[in-house]
């Protein structure tokens, strides 16, 4: 049996990864801050699928939290075969509206934790000649708008570069770039979502199924929906100056408020 470690496993996209990987027979290490919720999730997945689910309470905005997960990933007697770096959050407001402490927390969770956990996992995976890492970014990574998108652009660049460096080692790295997904994300950030058109919403379970197919195919970038693939195709060929203006206008009109 293989083991997958999922950060931010208790809600949204992370919970969809946990459901799918448990159904596929993987043991799980579930990471988030809320221990009661983690325990409840572990019991439910164990009872439903007969897998072992370990609870690891950790706040990835702190050094102690990151170190606890690094230490679990570095355990060579109880190896992790698949790491899903999924924990993340958004901040309401534009640049200069958000307090610096919250901006730095975002960089800690989205960038530093992802760098350190990917390093801890792939060090062991490379020794074994197998393993996989999925780093959850966002389609926001591809448009010049906000510090959230900037942090996710770092995740995309880092993951694709590391995937290239580890090519041929048996270790696969992929960055997953979802569009809007119905989760707790927007409510937690205090963002209204009424302006977001219905067609732009993705289902977390379908997103995860498509992402795991992309991982099995050896892709280093997964944008798992035809609508967003088409949108990102347009973004790619649009000059940056025009793109900045268009995304600001459409973001104000149709984005989270």
Ligand X SMILES: NC(=O)c1ccc[n+]([C@@H]2O[C@H](COP(=O)([O-])OP(=O)(O)OC[C@H]3O[C@@H](n4cnc5c(N)ncnc54)[C@H](OP(=O)(O)O)[C@@H]3O)[C@@H](O)[C@H]2O)c1
Q: Compute how many other C-beta atoms are within 10 angstroms of the C-beta atom of residue 172.
A: 22
Q: Which is nearer to ligand X, 112 or 130 (CB)?
A: 112
C-beta of 138: minimal distance to ligand X in Å?
Answer: 4
C-beta of 190: minimal distance to ligand X in Å?
Answer: 12
- C-alpha to C-alpha distance for 146 and 136, rounded to whole angstroms: 17
Q: Which is nearer to ligand X, 52 or 205 (CB)?
A: 205
Q: Which two tokens stand for residue 174?
A: 């992929």
Backbone angles phi, psi at 87, to 5 degrees: -55, 135
Q: Which is nearer to ligand X, 98 or 130 (CB)?
A: 98
CA 234 vs CA 19, 78, 175, 228: distances in Å: 33, 45, 20, 10
Bridge partners (DSSP) listed for residue 174? 134
- What string of H, E and C letters represents the secondary structure of 25-65? CCEEEEEECCHHHHHHHHHHHHHHHCCCEEEEECCCCCHHH
Which of 17, 38, 72, 148 is labelled catalytic?
Answer: 148
Q: Which is nearer to ligand X, 138 or 147 (CB)?
A: 138
Q: Is 148 a catalytic residue?
A: yes
- Which residues of the shown chain bind ligand X in the complex (CB under 6 A)? 7-14, 32-34, 37, 58-61, 86-89, 109, 136, 138, 178, 180-181, 183-185, 188
Contact 85, 136 (CB under 8 A): yes
Closest Cα to residue 4, out of 25, 167, 245? 25
Question: With b meaning 16 or more CB within 10 Å and e meaning fewer, what string describes 37-70?
Answer: bbeebbeebeeebebebebbbbbbbeeebbebbb
- C-alpha to C-alpha distance for 212 and 209, rounded to whole angstroms: 5
Catalytic residues: 148
């Amino acid at each position: 049996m293989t083991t997958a470690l999922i950060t931010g496993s208790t809600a949204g996209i992370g919970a969809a990864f946990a459901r799918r990987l448990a159904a596929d027979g993987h043991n799980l290490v579930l990471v988030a801050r809320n221990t009661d919720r983690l325990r409840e999730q572990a019991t439910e997945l164990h009872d439903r699928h007969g897998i072992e689910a370990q609870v690891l309470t950790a706040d990835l905005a702190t050094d102690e939290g990151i170190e606890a997960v690094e230490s679990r990933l570095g355990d060579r007697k109880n190896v992790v075969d698949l790491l899903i770096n999924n924990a993340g959050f958004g901040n309401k407001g534009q640049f200069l509206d958000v307090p610096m402490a919250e901006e730095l927390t975002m960089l800690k969770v989205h960038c530093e934790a992802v760098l350190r956990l990917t390093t801890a996992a792939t060090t062991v995976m490379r020794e074994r000649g197998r393993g996989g890492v999925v780093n959850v970014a966002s389609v926001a990574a591809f448009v010049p708008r906000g510090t959230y998108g900037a942090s996710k652009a770092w995740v995309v660049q880092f993951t694709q570069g590391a995937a290239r460096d580890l090519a041929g080692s048996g270790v696969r790295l992929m960055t997953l770039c979802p569009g809007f997904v119905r989760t707790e994300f927007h409510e937690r950030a205090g963002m209204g979502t009424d302006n977001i058109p219905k067609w732009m919403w993705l289902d977390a379970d379908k997103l995860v199924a498509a992402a795991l197919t992309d991982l099995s195919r050896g892709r280093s970038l997964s944008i798992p929906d035809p609508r967003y693939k088409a949108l990102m195709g347009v973004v790619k060929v649009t000059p940056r100056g025009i793109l900045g203006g268009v995304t600001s206008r459409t973001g104000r009109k149709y984005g989270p408020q």
